[in-house]
Chains A and B, each alone.
Chain A
């Protein structure tokens, strides 16, 4: 059984016919070919698939595409400015060496964007708690925590 789903992704309206069981992350990666959103597990533990849906960070592996019908989505591809300039949170990850292999990074950044909106000046403890749903195997989190603190300050509570 297929179903038509329509939503806005990174500011552009998109729609496709998909199987009803298609996960949102599969739709993003396979139908839209936005491969910056990654799949690192099958139990909603790793957070590599995190995107913003109507401004909130969600794990796109944990809902099916049709649940996002009509939603406004932002993926990692939509974060930098149209001219390619990095968003302050992305720049903070670069400056603080908050990434190594880069696989968890898009999920980390998307989660951090949502967190930083309400935490313009977070403590180390708050950042570590905010990362409860995101796994990284490379960095030991040290520089991710530093990146998010710096990025949040640079954002000043605004996306």
Chain B
């Protein structure tokens, strides 16, 4: 009947509402009698609060409530928790300083929350917030991770501003391997701090009903159940059944909307105090200050090779900037999601990584698209490319000499890769990128007076963090499964409830393809529901490219239960043995006969159970499933970037960018390509245009607007040349791996390898702006004189 849906370029179900302005984002929600919140934020990076004067603000027109940290402390509102415990090399738990929702006596970064002003209108709230007078005693601030340990203590319980020193691998064996090496490549670099900038700013509307003694929070969240769990159990001390969290249409997340933020707690709490809904919508300036940032590593990395170019060992020392407080998953990003990826696609037998995580007077840092894995890929792929140049080897050839080819493969850094074919993606990228014509293109660039460079990155990522028990043993304080529910309606159409959340990924389409394919029905008969704790049984949400691999599998498990029950019902209706019933393309058939019942007939019998095996089965056709994966999935691929540099201006243009990824089975190639395009552009943004800057002495955020922080625009990127190769994941039924972060993981190394090639230098700092590149060119020409 229907054409296969797995692998089909099905147009998206969600597009109509977004194209006609009918989407419902959090700021589009307007509750009756809602009041508006404005936060008073610290203008100092580090200061003691001597006094907060509210008199003038309280008298300002329209003000209905003003609260400070003291009010929250009196009401026993807790601080924001961190979801991952990292154990220090000395065996002690990481330092976990209090993270109050409104400052308690001290502010620790520019933008830290000091008070909330709530008024009848947004303008009134903002006007009154301007009248809150805070007397500060300024303290010296530190923003640079490398200087944090000797700076003024930010938290009393971390006198050296160190959250933890953590290590993975056998240091002694690595040191030994380095002594025996024929060649050592060493690089020191910074992985630049990024500001996520989903185009929809964060927003939250808390509302309290006295009639139900219950709260509802509408919020821009990637994982509403986790938000509810953290907020109820750890901060507000409320039972979960009295709190509903709705994450409606969400305008991009990229990690920044995973976390429980102070604003979410404050508007929820305040809605009960005022007995009316309280709405807060971030403006972009607040977003720059208060959305969790990403990356910000200072790293020394070394690769030891033998005389044949085989990798012997890798040694990495990183200082990671966590910002002023521990954000929800901050601690696991530069550790569990970073050091474990340092084997890359290679058989490097020994790896040692040491990470010092420090507090600074900056916005908290947490997962941003890729989260640890772009930083790891940058380390590995910059080292490998540099080693190839130093050894005068073709960079593709050096990679081939070291590729992992036997699976499953146990790396020296904890992970076990289930499957992959790194030659396949490399070969395909070389062909698609027409690398054989590179020399000619370089000559043509040269004739135009341009410098051309080529760079590779062969990345690996680990998606769908799992299993829960392993994550738990590594310090996770949450489970990492996913939940799904399949509700078959009496006439056979299907509503599926998923704990995954879609904020651009197109789950309403991809998941519907999976369901319709499995049940053999038209996709129009399937609806996907997500983002509401009152509708969905549970969910861990969307991050780490986990939705299809973990959330999709949970749905498949529930579908299999539906089919199993359907077979029992059909067996009864057809007066056949259950073991003789086959399900295929929407029909339950008695094997070897033409006797059958349609899916809709079986569903109807389940809800109108006149002729029904009541002694064996309950009526209804509705099944739940929870799925806790056996392992991570391991997408991998090869990216090749070619740049042209204008030596007069230093301007870099991406002339061609080729990406060949192995995401396992692809459900909807159109959607997957879109994810790759977006990921690549964020990766190119990190390499070329984006870089968060603080003023070192004052701790002021210098890149605090879209005029100062340069997001890539349409003119900064080319059409991408992309393709996929497929080695199905071995441990989930769909064979899927996940595709959301790959582009952002692989692109920075590919671009920077290309730029350093064009310039003939060992390293260029990201972002490689025209000015940065021009300076390198000047230094080189000076050196020649």
Task: Please give the residue numbers on chain A whose beta carbons come within 8 Å of chain B beta carbons, in ascending order.
Answer: 19, 21, 29, 33-43, 45-46, 48, 75-77, 79-80, 84, 86, 90, 93-95, 97, 99-106, 109, 124, 127-129, 131-132, 134-145
Chain B residues near A76: list those with CB within 8 A. 19-21
Kindly list chain A residues whose C-beta atoms are within 8 Å of the C-beta of B682: 137, 140
* A106 in contact with B706 given A135-B199, A142-B720 (CB within 8 Å): no
Partner of A101, one of B20, B251, B720: B251
| B707 near A86: Cβ-Cβ < 8 Å | no
Q: Knowing A38-B200, A105-B19, A137-B682 are in contact, say whether A128-B715 is a contact too (CB < 8 A).
A: yes
Q: Look across to chain B and name the residue whose beta carbon is closest to the beta carbon of A26.
A: B122
Tell me the B1-43 residues at the A interface (CB within 8 Å): 11-12, 14-25, 27-28, 30
B side interface size, CB within 8 A: 58
**Given the complex, which residues of A lie within 8 Å of B504, measured CB to CB?**
100-102, 138
In B135-193, the 8 Å CB interface with A consists of none
Which residues on the B side are within 8 Å of A104 (C-beta)?
199, 251
Given contacts A103-B199, A103-B200, A145-B719, contact A135 B20 (CB under 8 A): no
Cβ contacts under 8 Å, A131 to chain B = 713-715
Judge whether B705 is part of the interface by a CB distance below 8 angstroms: yes
The A-B contact count (CB < 8 A) is 181
Please state if A138 and B252 are interface contacts (CB–CB under 8 Å): yes
In this complex, what residue of B is CB-closest to A143? Answer: B674
Give chain A residues whose Cβ lies under 8 Å from the Cβ of B251: 38, 40, 101-104
Q: 15 A-B pairs, CB-CB below 8 angstroms? A: A33-B30, A35-B21, A36-B22, A38-B200, A38-B251, A42-B283, A45-B705, A90-B20, A94-B11, A94-B19, A95-B11, A100-B252, A101-B252, A106-B18, A140-B678
| Distance of A90 Cα from B12 Cα, bound (Å) | 13
Within 8 A of A (CB), among B710-754: 711-715, 717, 719-720, 743
Q: Is B254 an interface residue (CB 8 A)?
A: yes
Extra contacts besides A45-B705, A101-B18, A141-B717 (4): CB < 8 Å:
A40-B251, A94-B12, A100-B252, A139-B677
Query: A144 touching B21 by the CB < 8 A rule?
Result: no
Check B197 for interface membership: any CB of A closer than 8 A.
yes
- Give CA–CA (A118, B201) in the complex, Å: 33
- Contacts A90-B20, A97-B12 given; does A42 touch B674 at CB 8 Å: no
The answer to whether B11 touches A40, judged by C-beta atoms less than 8 angstroms apart, is no
Say if the beta carbon of B123 comes within 8 Å of chain A.
yes
Contact A38 B19 (CB under 8 A): no
B21 touches A34 (CB 8 A): yes
Kindly state whether residue B671 has any CB partner on chain A within 8 Å: yes
Q: Which of B250, B711, B720 contacts A135 (CB 8 A)?
A: B711
Closest residue to B743 on the A side, CB-wise? A140
Q: Could you tell me if B20 and A79 are in contact, using CB atoms closer than 8 angstroms?
A: yes
Going nearest first, the 4 A-B pairs with the smallest beta carbon separation are: A36-B21, A102-B18, A103-B251, A101-B504
Bound state CA distance, A135 and B285, in angstroms? 16
Interface of B is mostly: loop
A42 to B720, CA, bound (A): 31
Contact between B249 and A102, CB atoms less than 8 A apart? yes
Q: Knowing A86-B19, A140-B717, say if A101 contacts B706 (CB, 8 Å).
A: no
Chain B contacts of A100 at CB under 8 A?
A: 252, 504-506, 674, 678
By the criterion CB–CB under 8 Å, are B678 and A39 in contact? no
The reply to whether A93 and B28 contact each other, CB–CB distance below 8 Å, is no
* B712 cross-chain contacts in A, Cβ below 8 A: 140
Asked whether A39 lies within 8 Å of B27 as measured between CB atoms, the reply is yes
Distance to closest chain B CB from A78 (angstroms): 9
- A46 to B27: give the CA distance in the assembly, Å: 17
- Bound CA–CA A138/B674 (angstroms): 8
Q: Are A36 and B23 in contact (CB under 8 A)?
A: yes
Instruction: Tell me if B198 counts as interface (CB < 8 A to partner A).
Output: yes
Q: In the complex the two chains form, what is the Cα distance from A132 to B254 in whole Å?
A: 23
Contact B284 A43 (CB under 8 A): yes
CA separation between A100 and B707, bound complex, in Å? 24
Q: How many angstroms from the CA of A104 to the CA of B252 in the assembled complex?
A: 10
Cβ of B297 within 8 Å of any chain A Cβ, yes or no, is no
B416 to A: closest C-beta gap in Å: 32
Which residue of B12, B20, B681 has the most chain A CB atoms within 10 A of its CB atom? B20
* Contact present for B123 and A19 (CB under 8 Å): yes
Q: A101-B198, A109-B19 are in contact. Are A137 and B123 (CB under 8 A)?
A: no
**Does B702 reach chain A (CB closer than 8 Å)?**
no
Report the minimal beta-carbon distance from B256 to chain A, rounded to whole angstroms: 10
Q: Tell whether, in the assembled complex, residue A102 and residue B707 are in contact, meaning their CB atoms are under 8 Å apart.
A: no
Complex Cα spacing A99 to B199, Å: 13
Consensus secondary structure, chain A interface: loop
In the complex, A109→B21 CA distance in Å?
A: 11
Contact A38 B12 (CB under 8 A): no
Closest residue of chain A to B121 (Cβ to Cβ) is A19
Given contacts A103-B251, A140-B680, contact A43 B706 (CB under 8 A): yes
Specify which chain B residues have a CB less than 8 angstroms from the CB of A145 in the assembled complex. 714, 719
Check B568 for interface membership: any CB of A closer than 8 A: no
Beyond A43-B706, A48-B199, A145-B714, is A37–B284 a contact (Cβ under 8 Å)? no
Contacts of B18 in A (CB 8 A): 99, 101-102, 105-106
Q: Is the CB of B200 within 8 A of A40?
A: yes
- Contact status B14-A102, CB under 8 Å: yes
CA–CA, A101 and B641, complex, Å: 27
A105 to B15, CA, bound (A): 10
Assuming the A-B contacts A76-B20, A93-B15, A94-B12, are A46 and B714 also in contact, with contact meaning beta carbons closer than 8 angstroms in the complex? Answer: no
Enumerate chain A residues within 8 angstroms of B11, measured Cβ to Cβ.
94-95, 97
Q: Given contacts A42-B284, A101-B251, A102-B23, is CB(A137)–CB(B14) below 8 Å?
A: no
A140-B707 contact in complex given A101-B251, A102-B504, A145-B719, C-beta closer than 8 Å = no
| Complex alpha-carbon distance, A157 and B776, angstroms | 47
The answer to whether A86 touches B16, judged by C-beta atoms less than 8 angstroms apart, is yes
- Contact A137 B199, CB 8 Å, known A76-B20, A100-B674: yes
In contact, B285 and A42 (Cβ under 8 angstroms): yes
Q: Which residue of the partner chain, among B19, B250, B505, B720, contacts A140 with CB atoms under 8 Å?
A: B720
Indicate if B578 sits at the interface (CB-CB under 8 A).
no
The CA of A36 and the CA of B18, in the complex, are separated in Å by 8
Out of A29, A97, A101, A106, which one reaches B250, CB within 8 Å?
A101
**Residue among B123, B199, B505 with max Cβ neighbours from chain A (10 Å):** B199
* Bound-state Cα–Cα, A143 to B670, Å: 10
Question: Which chain A residue lies CB-closest to B503?
Answer: A101
What is the distance, in angstroms, from A134's C-beta to the closest C-beta of chain B? 8
Q: How far is the CA of A71 from the CA of B425 in the complex (A)?
A: 55
CA distance A42 to B126 in the complex (A): 14
**Closest approach, in angstroms, between the C-beta of A109 and any C-beta of chain B?**
7
By the criterion CB–CB under 8 Å, are A41 and B284 in contact? Answer: yes
- Given the known interface contacts A42-B285, A101-B199, A140-B678, the answer about A77 and B20 at a Cβ–Cβ threshold of 8 Å is yes
Q: Is B673's CB within 8 Å of the partner chain A?
A: yes
- Does B680 contact A137, Cβ atoms closer than 8 Å? no
8 Å CB interface, B408-437 against A: none
Beta-carbon contacts of B671-687 to A below 8 Å, as 1s and 0s? 10110011111100000
Residues of B within 8 A of A138 (CB): 199, 252, 504, 674, 678
Chain A neighbourhood of B681, CB < 8 A: 139-141
In Å, the complex CA distance between A126 and B197 comes to: 26
Known: A43-B705, A43-B706, A90-B20. A139 touches B715 (CB 8 A): no
- Give the distance to chain B from A73, nearest Cβ to Cβ, in Å: 13
Task: Tell whether, in the assembled complex, residue A132 and residue B19 are in contact, meaning their CB atoms are under 8 Å apart.
Answer: no
Does the CB pair B19–A93 fall under 8 Å?
A: yes
Q: Bound complex: CA of A106 vs CA of B251, how far in Å?
A: 12
B470, chain A: closest CB distance, angstroms: 32
Question: Closest CB of chain A to B719's CB: distance in Å?
Answer: 6
Bound-complex Cα distance A39 to B678 (A) = 21
